[in-house]
Structure 1
Amino acid sequence: MKKTIGLCILLILFSSCSFNEYQNKTDKKIESGNIVLKDIAYNKKLEEAHSIYIQEDESYEPYLVIDGDYDGGVLLLRKYLLDEGIQYSEEMSHQTFGGYYPISIIDAYLNTTFLSKFLQSLQDKILDTTISVANKETVGSGGWIDETENINRKIFILSATELNIMGSMKATEGKPLAYYKKRDDLTAQLKSGANDAYWLRTAYLWDDIQAWAIGANGDIGGISVSYTLSLRPAFCLDGNTEVVETDEIVEGRKVYVLKNP
């Protein structure tokens, strides 16, 4: 019995030391000012994700650094939903495959209009990321097929699988992200602070003109692609991209920005 108790104490001490060692290393990097994006990427040892402020047109917007190895890059997720809603697709008739992401209005908008909000120098640094989407056969299968294809995109939205959502009416697109641990993590806000509904890139396989969405109150399910909902854009940068702290963006506190945007 004494041996068992002693072993448990040693394991607790070892775990505590490992965490403290990790935290000390991270703190030293931050204090030294020599820090790169992968140093502040979310992992299970952090209580919440770090934010980095990215310039969009004339304003700076916070992005959560939620994964350190997403197709080889660091994944940034916009903290706030876009103010203007958008249709997933204009298709309203069956067998038009409105839930097929590569031909969606969302995909086209993100990689043209939204991408152009960033400085050209940042556009050039955004990685061409491989993401998984349900293929056309799956979108029209009524849930009987779970097949995906890979596409390369600079800007995209996350999938139901990546948000750790369970359900039969979806394809397995990518893998669950550690950042999404509980239902409350799914809700998202506009910059005003109000919760709002937003699209996922995942087709809802009940029929070919539905897609998965998160409701303002955190409800999960499928909705017609012709509805107008908000977006939460994401993109990847190289993990060795340098970042610095500045007090010139948010009054009264320091925040991270790209050293050379």
Structure 2
Amino acid sequence: MSIGTAKPTAAEMQGVPHHFIDSHSITEDYNAGRFEVDCLARLGELFQRHPLVILTGGSGLYLQAVTEGLDDMPQTSPAVRAALQQELAAHGLAPLVAELERLDPVTYGRIDRQNHQRVVRALEVTRSTGQPFSSFHTAKAAAARPFNVIKVALTREREELYQRIDQRVDSMLAAGLLEEVKALLPYRHHNALHTVGYQEIFDYLDGLHDWPEAVRLLKRNTRHYAKRQLTWFRRDPAYQWVELGK
């Protein structure tokens, strides 16, 4: 998944120790809750040796998990999750999104409905408990952490951002993204591959789109994802925004 995830190269990482790169298999059922536990343990080790650690990424939920903690979620049934994964593979995402809208309109309006993992997780909790996923979200205070957090968000003018996204997609395709996705076909049912950059090419390989349309959708969905990221971070007043290019 090196190309589709834009994994930093060895040259880019030279001289700066990185963590959680190539650390887990795509076959693992990994989530923000597990990342919170793993990352806090690693931070505890790092702060023994360093006064400053930089945590970077684009997933607001994962960053929130580490810096503030997540709401406690109930135990769910593995059978329910397996059934949802089978339904997703057989019928696609649309029926699950429709079910989520019917059972939990609050979560439907809040989450990224193109994100397979988010939709499946919400329905997993809802079906297992008989209660809406949103009912388990509380307004509890952020979890205490043994370190101070300075939040910084980078942005740039929207038109330039979208141009850079399109150029980045072109670069990833030139680097062999199609071949990478073909090699991952046996693992396509795993959550790690239900993401922008992989799903569009899976659909192309399934004959749902021709190649130009797949590329168009990949660029469009990546731009939409970037917009959702910006929306997420702007909800948190603690972030200090840095306008790049000015």
TM range (shorter): under 0.3
Higher strand share: 1
Higher helix share: 2
Higher-Rg structure is 1
TM (normalized to structure 1)? 0.23
TM (normalized to structure 2)? 0.24
